[in-house]
Each structure stands twice: as structure tokens, then as C-alpha cells.
Amino acid sequence: MVEQRIGAHVKQGDPVTEAQARGANAVQIFLGDPQGWKGPTVDFPGGAEALRAATEAADLAVYVHAPYVLNVATTNNRIRIPSRKLLQQQVDLAAQVGARGVIVHGGHVLKDDDPEIGFDNWRKCAERLDAKVPVFVENTAGGDYAMARRLDRIARLWDAIGDSGLGFCLDTCHAFAAGIDPSDVVDQVMAITGRIDLVHANDSRDPFDSGADRHANLGSGTIGAEAVAAVVRAAGVDAIVETPADGQTADVSYLKKYVHGA
């Protein structure tokens, strides 16, 4: 049986130390600027090979979150084409650091666009991507023109890319903000995608169906710690908390106890 790991999103400089301080055996990082278009970089001393050696020695599972600016669905060529290029660069470097996956947001189309164009743009991206490591599409919290906010859009997206080998990252805060009940979100998503590859285990600062992407530490938000943890246990895959850093140690500890009883 594959171990279900619990971890946190941490600063790039020394993810091993950051993870160990939280009692985590998984970690998520950015490779470079999450808000910029420059190529990915490794801040760890010694570069990609040193980071890979350090995380392997620490038995630490590594995930990479692609920059927020990426939007491979858009009809805007000045965004879509650079997004494809940057995603490939992220995947290539993630492979060098030994990452288990790269997470990328589902993106959106413009106000007057047919959503089908966005789904087709995702299909083209998936066909051209050299996925040296698995790539997981993440559901998003808001936006009327988003590709992966509500279940009907996720279903249409999966019609387009389901045969491509791309995976799915389920964010509990985003799903809650999109109006998806946490009590059956795993069953609902599995019925559509047939897979959940990673959980972003986040409480929400805002009410159900708010459309707001604002994470809270477990138990201090509107979802509740137990409801978030139940999603993690039901999904049966690794989980990463993307919550405020000062509460991440408690978040990781709670999830470990709930999922593993330890």
C-alpha cells in the first residue's frame, strides 16, 4: 500500500528544513516567481541536483506549483502561447528536482468567448506537453468563465483532456467556494475524472459558494478541520496544506492524526 503523505507549501530556499519543522513528509514549492513569466529557477544551494539529493535523503515527497499567471485555456495568444512554454519549462525543471507532480490552475476564457474554445485549448496543450513528471490540473474557486470551477465545467474539461494522462488536484477551499459540498466532493469528482492525484487541504475564510479564494488554517475557517480531513482520507492520496505558515505545523499534525491515527 502506498503511503499517504501529509505536507505543506513552503518557501523555496530550504524546503527540507521547512518541512521537517512542520513534521511533514511532503512539501510543495514554487520554482521561481509565482507571479511572473521568467523561466523557473531553483533557490536551493547547489541547484536542482542538490535539492533532489537532499529531499531523497530526507524521504520527502516534492510537488511543484506552477506560476499563477499561467492560463493555457485563454484565447489571448499573448498569454496562451507563453503559458504553454512556461508550463513545459516548469515540468522540465520539476523532473530535475525529482518532483512527483506539477500543479497548474485550470485557467479561464474571456467574457465573450465560447467555453468550448478553452477546453479545446487545454486539449491542444495536453497533446503537446512532454510530461516528464505528472501534471495535475487544479480546480479553482471563482470566475464565471473558469475551466475548472464547477462540476459541469470540470466534466467538459475532462471530456477534452481525460485521455491525455493529465491528473487532477482537488483543492478543498476552492471546491467549497465554488459551491461543491465537501461531504461528497470526492465521489463527485471521481465520477467525472476517475482520479484524484493530490489534495490541497485548505479551510476557507469565506462562506460556501462565495467564489473567494482565501485559505484559512484548519478549524479557523468555514469548512471546518474535520470536513477537510475527511476529504483527505476519502481521496486516499497525498495532501498539501496551503494555509498561513504560522499554523501549518498544527494543520499537518491534525491531518496526520485524522488520516493515520498518529
> Distance (Å, rounded) from C-alpha 202 to C-alpha 159?
27
Report which DSSP code applies to 9: E
Residue type, 55: T
pLDDT reading at 248 higher than 80: yes
Tell me what pLDDT residue 62 has.
98
Cell of 74: 485563454
> Distance (Å, rounded) from C-alpha 208 to C-alpha 224?
12
pLDDT in tens, 156-179: 999 999 999 999 999 999 999 999
- Whichever domain contains 48, its CATH number is 3.20.20.150
Cell of 87: 508550463
End-to-end CA distance of the chain: 17
pLDDT in tens, 182-192: 999 999 999 99
Residue type, 185: V
Tell me what pLDDT residue 261 has.
86
Q: Which residues make beta-bridge pairs with 136?
A: 103, 167
> Distance (Å, rounded) from C-alpha 173 to C-alpha 213?
7
Residue 131 belongs to domain spanning: 6-260
pLDDT in tens, 134-149: 999 999 999 999 999 9
pTM above 0.85, yes or no: yes
> Distance (Å, rounded) from C-alpha 262 to C-alpha 257?
5
To 10 degrees, the CA torsion angle through 61, 23, 195, 225?
-160
**201 near 255, Cβ under 8 Å?**
yes
Residue type, 210: S
* Total Cβ atoms within 10 A of residue 172: 32
pLDDT in tens, 65-122: 999 999 999 999 999 999 999 999 999 999 999 999 999 999 999 999 999 999 999 9
Strand, helix or coil for residue 160: helix
Q: How many domains does the chain have?
A: 1
Percent of all residues in the chain with a pLDDT value above 90, rounded to a whole number: 98
**246 near 236, Cβ under 8 Å?**
no
Tell me what pLDDT residue 158 has.
98
pLDDT reading at 7 higher than 80: yes
In a domain, 60, yes or no: yes
Q: Angle at CA 141, nearest 5°, toward 137 and 146?
A: 65
pLDDT band at 262, cuts 50/70/90?
Answer: low
In a domain, 35, yes or no: yes
Closest of 208, 206, 220 to residue 254, by C-alpha: 220
> Distance (Å, rounded) from C-alpha 171 to C-alpha 143?
15
pLDDT band at 3, cuts 50/70/90?
Answer: confident
Output the average pLDDT for the chain. Answer: 97
12, 27, 199 from 167: Cα distances, Å: 24, 18, 11
In a domain, 37, yes or no: yes
In a domain, 1, yes or no: no
In a domain, 131, yes or no: yes
Percent of all residues in the chain with a pLDDT value above 70, rounded to a whole number: 99
Q: Is the model more confident about 202 or about 1?
A: 202
pLDDT band at 1, cuts 50/70/90?
Answer: low
Residue type, 169: C
pLDDT in tens, 195-210: 999 999 999 999 999 9
**7 near 253, Cβ under 8 Å?**
no
